[in-house]
Amino acid sequence: MLYQQIDQKISEKETWAFRRQLGVPNNKRLWVLACMDERLPVEKALGIGEGDAHIFRNAGGLVTDDAIRSAMLTTQFFGSKEIIVINHTECGMMTASGDFLSEVLRNQGIDLDRVSVDPALPELKLPKGVFSKWIKMFTDVDEICTQQVQLLRNSALIPQDVVIHGYIWEVESMSLRRPYKRLSDRVNTASAMETKTAKHTEPVLETGSLIE
C-alpha cells in the first residue's frame, strides 16, 4: 500500500531528526578525529556516508582539550564504541615551529602569556611560556598519528573498551595507510622481492639443455 511507504519515510525522517532525544547513536558508533585540511576527504577515505560517524576536525587532527571534550561526549553519552584518527602527509602543521609562530604573533602585539584560549571561559589561561607548545606543531606525521592514538587510549574520560586506531591519508596517492607502513618503501625493491641470485657453485647449463 502506498500509505505504508509514505508513513515509513515519515517515520525515518522523524527518527533522523530526533536521534539525540531518542538516544540513537550514529550508524557506525564511530568518532573520527581528523585534520581540517581540504585535501583530506574523511568520508571518502573511510568509506562512510551521512549519519555514519561523529567527525571532529582541527588543525593537524590532534588531541586537544576540545577534542577530548567531544570524544568524551560521544563515547560516554552518545553510544560511540570506536575512534579513528586520521593524519595526513604534507600537513601544514609541519611547515613551522611553535616558537616561530609565537614570535610572529608577538610581533603583532599579542601578549601570549595573558591571552585567553577560550573566550567563553576567560579564567582558563595557559601557564606562562606554554603557548608555543599549545599550538602543537610537529615534524613527523607517522609519529604524531601514533601519539594521538596513545593519548586517547590513556584518557580517563574515554571508556577503556572503546577501540582506537590511527591511519595516514597520503595526499599524493589519495589513499589510507597505517603509520610507518609506506608501500612505496617496499614496492619494486629487490630486497622486498627477495631477489634470487645465482650461486657460483651451481653447475652451468649448456644451451638447449632445458629443452627436451
| Block residue for cell numbers 651451481 | 202
Rounded to two decimals, the pTM is 0.87
What DSSP designation does 163 have? Answer: E
Q: How many CA atoms lie within 13 A of 42 on its CB side?
A: 24
Q: What's the rounded Cα separation, in Å, for the pair 21 and 8? A: 19
- pLDDT value of position 187: 85
pLDDT score recorded for residue 211: 41
Residue 92 pLDDT: 97
Residue 137: partners with Cβ closer than 8 Å, 6 or more residues away? 60, 93, 94, 96, 97, 98, 101
Blockwise average pLDDT, block size 10, the chain, 212 residues: 96 95 96 98 98 98 97 98 98 97 97 91 90 97 98 98 98 97 85 76 52 42
What is the predicted pLDDT for the residue at 138? 98
pLDDT at 210: 42
